[in-house]
Structure 1
Amino acid sequence: MNLLELHGDHAQPTDDRSIRRWDGATSVFVSAAPRLFAIGLRVLHDVGEAEDVVQETWLRWARADRSVVISPPAFLALTTTRLAINVAQSARWRRETSAGPYLPETTDRSVSPETAAERCEAVDTAIQLLLERLTPVERAVYLLRMAFDYPYRRISEILRLGEDHARQLVRRARDHLANGRRHQVSTAAHRRLVRTFLAAAQTGDLAGLEELLAADAAR
């Protein structure tokens, strides 16, 4: 992965303040890159695919609104994990399509204990911040939109609110993540949401996460 080449894919900063912000973002990513590559390699067991995932993580980081990212290392680790899981699931889907119906395993043998720990650490940190700073409905909209790319129409159906309201809630959630007050978080609620989020990310079955978020938002 050549960061200089990737850097060239984006418009160059035009003032000293923008340059400092861009240099800071690049420095954060470069320092995290070895860990991100390790995550990708542990999930995918392929150097080339792991490098591709890290490159895509860089592009996501370069396009992200970094002013609302509370923990860049957690953001980068979670993004890399999600992308690697998507690649692994896509490859497995292609194998299953040609070989026959999918038979679920009780454990995912492709994921090492180290990878599982990295994944849990990143998700744990991100979920903690969402619980501390967002209301249940803000959290529901933000997770569905930002983590799983749900269209606003589908979000409005799940949470029973208007599409415009959902868009407003995403903007409000970003503001609260950047500047909101921290609230005490229930340990049980934290563990439940982390467990449900990880299950959704690992399996692609989002029904449980949808149900949990909708129930919390309706309270």
Structure 2
Amino acid sequence: MSDATTPATDTFVAHRNLLFTVAYEMLGSAADAEDVLQETWLRWIDVDLDQVRDERAYLVRITTRQALNRLRTLKRRKEAYVGPWLPEPLLTSPDVAEDVELAESMSMALLLVLETLTPTERAVFVLREAFDVSYAEIAAAVGKTPAAVRQIAHRARRHVEARRPRAAVPASRTRAALKSMQRALETGDLQGLLDVLAPDVVLIGDGGGVKQAALRPVVGADRVVRLLAGGLGKDPGVITTGLTEVNGNPALLLRLDGEIDGILALRVEDTGVTGLYYVRNPAKLTRIETETTLTLR
């Protein structure tokens, strides 16, 4: 790169992890977030830095606009997707898990709730609630007035609060539930699994039409256990499991004959496990062996 682009490069690199986190939380896809970062970079190097007062805010604005464009493309792609769509899981460091705010904002459960928002509502909610961006800066990013952004933020917040887990539980409870599932999956004794599931638990599987998965969400503890028992009986190989950290939260990595088969994440509330999210689509399992750095700042 020429010397003229070095300051732009340094600034972009300094904020890259933040920009990736913004794009990923808006899209739920690491691959699309990387594409957004590339588009952001191409626009950033054409900016006259002497005219930029706040480089971080300017980069977040570009990233948000590109992510909004990408969201519309993703909507069309999801309409043709085979079976339920789940966010792409990311292997994260213990630092992410220790940051309660970051871990909660990146959880599979919350990312699924964000899928029910409109693109603009999602952008406003993410920027305001997760990244504490001012209403004025959000307005510049989404092409709305600050007053309109306040209304959108209020509407999106009310929508999310009605659908997110009712009460946060310690990570230790999630790990305990995962260990019960680990024993059940490896031994075939599913009574321990039934004991930790809430009566109204929902299982969502994402095979993307490549791997076998339920084509609709499965509701109810008995039905979930029967489905898992049936799946275990059909698998000809040896299933092994291991605890890991995905999106800042405990999860289970499943292998079939030593090969990665999927990631199982949980939503745990006071009543037990209320959500099971099993990602089997191989295209979404490329980031579960190398840590991805996420940050809200």
Q: TM-score, normalised by structure 1?
A: 0.42
User: Higher helix proportion, which one?
Assistant: 1
